[in-house]
Amino acid sequence: MTNLHTEKQTGEKTTKTPEKQTGRTATIIGIGLIGGSLALDLKDSGFCSHITGVEANPEHAAEAKKLGLVDEILPLKDAVKKSELVIIAVPVDATIPVLKAVLDETENQIITDVGSTKEKIAKSVKGHPRRGRFVPSHPIWGTEFSGPSAAVRGGFSGNVTVICDKNECDPDSLAGIEAMYDAIGMKKIYMDSVSHDVHAAYVSHISHATSFSLALSVLEKEKEVDTIFQLAGAGFESTVRLAKSNPETWVPIFMENRENLLDVLEEQIERLLEMKECLRHNDTKRLKSLMKKANEIKKVLKK
């Protein structure tokens, strides 16, 4: 197998830099929005020269091949055996059995998943003899669309990827995944799986929950579809955009991270009730104070 990284000594620190060579072989399991977009960017960057797809949905498999997202479609065992790198991009409720199957077939392959939850997945393989080959990761990018046709070029560049539990990964596996994300222009941050899921509930999962609930509220009250279309401004559109996301992806995410998401929902409900009380009691001073407090998010987002 080709090493996916080189090491460079710099004083007391050891840093890893991607090799310049190409020719890496990869398998992507699940050729939807994320898997398909990764396939495009890994090819475009030169990091991979051959990508094998594994896809349970025959229509998606045919579409991925037709669109040129992958070079071939193979069964999981055959695909893993011929690859240096394996990327699991299936819904989070399907990741654990797929990951275990991949680890069972692994020799020196480097493995990562790209799902939005991490704690249960990491715990599920804690005792596996090849656990070190697996580097949990979460590239934080996506759209409201799904399937192979949703794949786009360049979406990951400039965005953040989270790499989890790096101390439990073999050094070459970790370096290989770091090099992969470097190649597609992502910024890397590190945290443990438990912390990842807490933060994901706050910055990602609650946004989707809010969007789904707002869409339901509007659809319930505004029976006239034409009225919704005519009155909807950019603010409404951007807020409910995520409500177009695929339930097949998001129901598993919500359920896998439900304890953290419940905590965040409780907090959000408290804030909504606060605003409701301001309106009920005509308390403009308090309402303005809450809005000014919320404005502080601008400082956070500028960092």
At 36-72, the pLDDT tens digits run: 999 999 999 999 999 999 999 999 999 999 999 999 9
Q: Check whether 9 has a pLDDT greater than 60.
A: no
User: For 182, left (φ over 0), alpha (ψ -120 to 50), or beta?
Assistant: alpha
Q: Say if residue 160 is exposed, middle or buried (CB neighbours under 10 Å; 0-12, 13-18, 19+).
A: middle
Last residue in a domain, options 164, 191, 218: 191
162 and 64 in a common domain: yes
Write the DSSP symbol of residue 70.
-
AA letter at 133: R
Give residue 274's domain range. Answer: 196-302
Say what angle helices 258-280 and 284-295 make with each other, to 10 degrees: 140
Last residue in a domain, options 138, 167, 191: 191
161 and 59 in a common domain: yes
- Say which CATH number the domain at 151 has: 3.40.50.720
Q: What is the pLDDT of residue 229?
A: 61
Q: What is the pLDDT of residue 8?
A: 34
Question: pLDDT tens across 210-220, in order?
Answer: 999 988 988 87
Residue with tokens 């396939």: 39
Question: pLDDT tens across 81-136, in order?
Answer: 999 999 999 999 999 999 999 999 999 999 999 999 999 999 999 999 999 999 99
246 and 288 in a common domain: yes
